[in-house]
Amino acid sequence: MKTYSLDLRERVVKAYDQKFGAQAKIAELFGVSVPWIKKLLRRRRETGSLAPKPHGGGQQPAFEGENLENLKKLVEQNPDATLQELGELSGVKCGIVAVWRTLKKLGCHRKKSRYTLRNGTGRTSGRSVKSGAKRQRK
């Protein structure tokens, strides 16, 4: 969710301070909710600021800085390695999803070796057969 701009926050508080109307009327005028106006006024009263709170954080990425470069080199050196193997080789304690997301962010394409045999599955019916068509008996 995107935070409201500081300009909008200042205009809402200015309208409230000038007693432009009830909070419900101000909320309708600016297209915000009444609870948001109450939170904004409480924030100004408690901290003296209208600025939004800083981002709360969240989980830190598994691959940053040196670990990120190391993973990139590992992909170049071991293009046939699975995500599990890349995670183990990197020495970073994380799941395979973290490895996959990092590779996607880096734009690394893990291309399998061209020298291995192709998958043995192929077409099971001829090209002239339509999918789902009934077979005519002679």
SS (HEC) of 52-100: CCCCCCCCCCCCCCHHHHHHHHHHHHCCCCCHHHHHHHHCCCCCHHHHH
Least confident of 32-41, 88-97, 122-131: 122-131
pLDDT at 2: 75
Question: What pLDDT does 59 receive?
Answer: 81
State pTM to two decimals: 0.46
What is the C-alpha separation between 42 and 38, in angstroms, rounded?
6
pLDDT value of residue 15: 96
The label of the residue with tokens 């002239």 reads 128
Question: Taking the alpha carbons of 3, 6, 12, 17 in that order, is the dihedral positive or negative?
Answer: positive
Q: Taking residues 92-116, what's their average pLDDT?
A: 79
Q: Which two tokens stand for residue 31?
A: 């297209």
pLDDT at position 123: 62
Rounded to an integer, the average pLDDT of 11-36 is: 95
- What does each C-alpha distance from 84 to 80, 94, 116 come to in angstroms? 11, 9, 20
